[in-house]
A and B are shown apart, each in its own frame.
Chain A
């Protein structure tokens, strides 16, 4: 027994030395007791990495992930009925996981790397980053020259996570979890990644000069449009207009919206991809527009529905966050105030009155808030972008560049049409193969117990 132990220890030590030798030859030599004389190493080439920028982008990445889990999960979870709370929160969490893996496999490559063919580069990125193979420890993406590519890739991953997760607001209460997960993955690869490439990865909209600082069209118009298509393809919830569909716990929604607001500093100020003056102004613009939009929504509701609801207050804040997203790095504080007020008013009418008039069941208003707010923000970016704030943007009202409005319109229209058509096709294919919607019995009894075997007491 003792001999066996000795052999075992010997084998473990030998294995450890082998592993050390593989990781760090110098260490292994030390372990073997043969210290080599230290040679003076040649001076390393200056690193392009800026530690301040990197620290801020590490922070931003964490903030944006917090927007989806738990921010968006709670925001949506509080608005559904008690029988569907877990299913709704679980959609945000499940989407986070499936998208993380697919972004690593191919999403990042499609969105943020260059295609060798210049004509294809307009539409789609390269495929060399399949499984992130070329992302070595000191790799840097030219799109973000002062931070490690590992940080840039993960930062962009958190955007890729929240965009499809936003769609869950439209399909709440009635979609199968299996179909939802497949839809999230397919939509990421076929819709989000190419559109992100068009605007940010050097594609046709970026080449045209479309201004989208942090994702007004790429993220919000995109997700909201997909939400509208989902609501139309799935059809309304069973019992809509007859049954009481009052939210289960609006405190969850208030907590969720608050986490979204805080996380959005990473979203907008982080989109500077550096810790510089643009990040600072984007942060200020974000705060101002959000508060203004919340107040504007509240005033509209107070005048029309006679009471300022708390759900309205936080919905207005989210509308403001959405609308300032494309503008945040391009506008001055006055511009951000006007954009915020416009977002509060327009999104209130879109989510409350237009939806009612048109009759589609966008359960939690992904379209009314995110698509409408995103498109409005994109157009108003064209109006209020100021060359004095950001040399990359010349707007209509301040710099007299009316042509920018046309470019912004191409951005909105291109995203809307491509996203709408592709989303419809993806949903139809999934419906054909595995079905989209749960049975009526499951829907009435609740998704939590039927799809997940759990309930909230």
Chain B
């Protein structure tokens, strides 16, 4: 099993969710996050007072998938979240040791 963690532009969330659902993946965890990469931040001006905003709002998606599904899932996220503009985000894949479904006690892939 692998944890696929994707940081994407907020307005792309629905398209990514739909793409992953079409792959047959059930469930994901979504968090509103702030951060920066090459896009850096932006400047806000209020009556002449300028503030540099270094951390931009992004969406973090976490989804655990069976190892054989990882490539498909990553491709689906890339296809759905891509705009070609700077600031599209990143995807990280890390191994997962164990999964337990709390309600039934099922473990590992049957718990996904």
Contacts and interface: CB of A to CB of B under 8 A. Distances in A.
Interface of A: 79, 244-247, 305, 307, 309, 311-312, 315, 351-353, 355-356, 365
Contact of B48 (A245, A246, A351): A351
Contacts of B51: 244-246
Contacts of A244: 51-53
Interface size class of B (residues with CB under 8 A): under 10
Given A305-B48, A356-B48, 16 more contacts: A79-B46, A244-B51, A245-B51, A246-B46, A246-B51, A305-B45, A309-B46, A309-B47, A311-B46, A311-B47, A312-B47, A351-B47, A351-B48, A352-B47, A355-B48, A356-B49
Contacts of A311: 46-47
B24 to A, nearest CB: 39
Would you call the interface of chain B mostly helix, strand, loop, or mixed? strand
B99 to A, nearest CB: 34
B22 interface: no
A308 to B, nearest CB: 11
B53 A352 contact: no
Interface in B25-66: 44-49, 51-53
Contacts of A352: 47-48
A245 B53 CA distance: 11
A115 B84 CA distance: 77
Contacts, number: 30
A54 to B, nearest CB: 41
A353 B51 CA distance: 16
A80 to B, nearest CB: 11
Nearest to B53: A244
A224 to B, nearest CB: 15
Contact of B44 (A246, A351, A365): A246
B31 to A, nearest CB: 19
Contacts of A305: 45, 48
B69 to A, nearest CB: 39
A355 B53 CA distance: 23
11 contacts: A245-B51, A246-B46, A247-B46, A305-B45, A309-B46, A309-B47, A315-B47, A351-B47, A353-B48, A355-B48, A365-B47
A312 B46 CA distance: 8
List of 4 A-B pairs having minimum Cβ-Cβ separation, nearest first: A352-B48, A244-B51, A246-B51, A352-B47
B34 to A, nearest CB: 13
Contacts of A355: 48
A247 B51 CA distance: 11
Interface in B52-95: 52-53
Contacts of B48: 305, 351-353, 355-356
A87 B51 CA distance: 23
A281 B69 CA distance: 74
A79 B46 CA distance: 9
Nearest to A306: B45
B46 A307 contact: no
A246 B51 CA distance: 7
A247 B45 CA distance: 10
Contacts of B45: 305, 307, 309
Contacts of A356: 48-49
Candidate in A246, A312, A315 with the most chain B CB atoms within 10 angstroms? A246
Contacts of B46: 79, 246-247, 309, 311
A194 B53 CA distance: 47
Contacts of A365: 47
A208 B17 CA distance: 75
Contacts of B52: 244
Interface string B2-38: 0000000000000000000000000000000000000
